[in-house]
Amino acid sequence: MELKTLALDLGVVRVLQDGADPPEYVAGWYIDPQTGQRIFYDPNTQKFYTMAGGVYIPLGYMNPAPKQVAVAPGDKLKITLSFKYTGPAQTGITGYYCVGVYGAFGFNEQMVGQTTFNIPLVTTPPSTPNVTDSYTFTIPAGIGTDWDDIYVKIFGGSPGVPQNLFGYENALVIAGIQPNITEFKIADFAKV
């Protein structure tokens, strides 16, 4: 098996956001020079995949979560993205929402949801985020206790927006899966 070193840095992302053509990768295994992990490029989907099968997300897009939310099977989890936008009216932008496991082998997507939304013409730069979108997951009975990471991305539309990614590590605490006993003690004892 031949391994190639993947040239992946924020400069490439910046160029892609400026509308330039992405670099041409051939199908095969690559090594991320920052993490040393092996990832596979599939030219049919134009995505990198980890050895565990998850879609690879470069490290720069995952961040420590500012809070943790406890969820259990049957709960609803609403994820909302927001951003500042200035530009032409956009139709058909895809919002992509994911819950899963981020680790040494990239992001293993376990739950995925998609939305489609529009943005009106905005000519004055906003002082606060002026675009929001959200997706609500129902937590399944088979959720893993390690499904604690989330990420969102936007892409597509007409005339089109550049792909943007953002994620949080350790954002969720999965409850109700494993028995949890706390403060176990003898409550009282007395002669009767």
Continuous segment of H or E residues that includes residue 153: strand 149-158
Residue 18 and residue 161: Cα distance in Å, rounded? 10
Q: Smallest Cα–Cα separation from 96: which of 41, 50, 47?
A: 47
On average, the pLDDT of the chain sits at 81
Taking 90 as the threshold, does the pLDDT of residue 53 lie above it? Answer: no
Residue 32 and residue 105: Cα distance in Å, rounded? 11
Instruction: Give 3-174's CATH code, choosing from 3.30.70, 2.60.40, 2.60.200, 1.20.1740.
Output: 2.60.40
- Whats the size of the chain, residue-wise? 192
Q: What is the pLDDT of residues 129-160, one digit of tens each?
A: 999 999 999 999 999 999 999 999 999 999 99
Q: What is the pLDDT of residues 60-94, one digit of tens each?
A: 678 889 999 999 999 999 999 999 999 999 999 99
Q: Using alpha carbons only, how large is the chain's radius of gyration in Å? A: 21
CB-CB contact of 5 with 33 (8 Å)? yes
Question: Domain limits of the chain?
Answer: 3-174
pTM of full prediction above 0.85? no
| Residue 3 burial (C-beta neighbours within 10 Å; 0-12, 13-18, 19+) | exposed
Residue 73: its pLDDT value, please? 94
Segment 100-114 shows an average pLDDT of: 87
Quickly count: other Cβ atoms within 10 Å of residue 37's Cβ: 17
Segment 14-29 shows an average pLDDT of: 55
- Give residue 160's Cα distance to chain centre: 20
Buried b (16+ CB within 10 A) or exposed e, 153-189: bbeebeeebeeebebbbebbebeeeeeeeeeeeeeee
